[in-house]
Amino acid sequence: MNQAAPASSASLWLVVNAASGSNNEDSCADLVARLTDAGHAPARVVRFPDDDLPDAAALDAAGVATLAIFTGDGTINSQVRKLGEWGGQVLVLPGGTQNLLAKTLHGSDCSVEAIVGALASGSLASRQLQAVETSQGPALIEVLAGPGATWADVREGVRDLDLQTIASALGEAVRNTASGAPVRVVDPVVGKPEGYRALRVDAVKGDLTLDGYDAEGIGEVAAQGVAMLVKRDFRAGPHDKLGTCPRVTVESDEPIALMIDGERFDGATRETFTSVTLPVQFLGSAAAG
């Protein structure tokens, strides 16, 4: 349920990551100035990864009512996991490369300027979000399961501009995607019996939405992988729409690689994903909700 957010908060903390996406020290300083001008000067700026991400106890002890996060989707996920059932409100700002959660909350054309302006005017609404619960924690945006998820390893090298790591991970990702054991949807039974190189799962609309991706040949594998790496735009490639359900179980002949909100995790040979409601409240545009 959407609830009107208060026009001002007792205290606001800001989490930033100057190395995230297009972020840098100047953009972080500009955001602090904008928040201050809007009457929401941060009582503390948490500079991840140098500073630990705060948990609910730390926020409550400091009297924080609003936690603003100016990072990429992966760091947002890590921060939300630490909040548990915290009673404050989370303000997600577009501080990464894709900013998928910010777009979900504020609209596809969201900007820092517009969001801070809406915060100042009290026009943001508070609401809970659906997420995909996995064995490795919740995915706020999406899960990619299967050999295709190993492309997340390449992203790590790109972030660090490590050419040796990029080259090594790129070759490994192509090999894994082309020859790795596919993922089969077994409960409910949908899609190709032989499975897919990648299964994408999200809970944006409430129930889980399932899409299966495959590729024929090294060239197609590489093209699809680069789309995942650069754009994280899985919908752009050919895929099977497998429908919706509240819960799904998948299996493979090998441990299932997972990409959760852009970050790599290792799963078991059988994984179950469930649509859940996150307990924390997020601030966003009423129109986007």
Could you tell me the mean pLDDT of each successive run of 10 residues in the chain, 289 residues long?
46 91 86 97 97 98 98 95 97 90 94 97 96 98 89 62 65 72 97 93 95 68 58 63 98 96 94 98 86
Closest CA to 222 of 282, 148, 117: 148
The hierarchical CATH code for the domain 137-277 is 2.60.200
Residues 130/246, Cβ–Cβ less than 8 Å: no
Instruction: Tell the burial category of 189 from Cβ atoms under 10 Å away from its Cβ (0-12, 13-18, 19+).
Output: exposed
**What is the model's pLDDT at position 280?**
97
**What is the model's pLDDT at position 224?**
60
Question: The pTM is what?
Answer: 0.86
- Strand-pairing partners, residue 69, are 15, 92
Structure tokens at 50: 């140098």
**What is the model's pLDDT at position 59?**
98
**What is the model's pLDDT at position 282?**
98
**What is the model's pLDDT at position 150?**
76
In whole angstroms, give the CA distance from residue 64 to residue 43. Answer: 9
Evaluate whether 3-127 and 137-277 have a shared fold: no
The hierarchical CATH code for the domain 3-127 is 3.40.50.10330
Show me where the domains of the chain are located. 3-127, 137-277
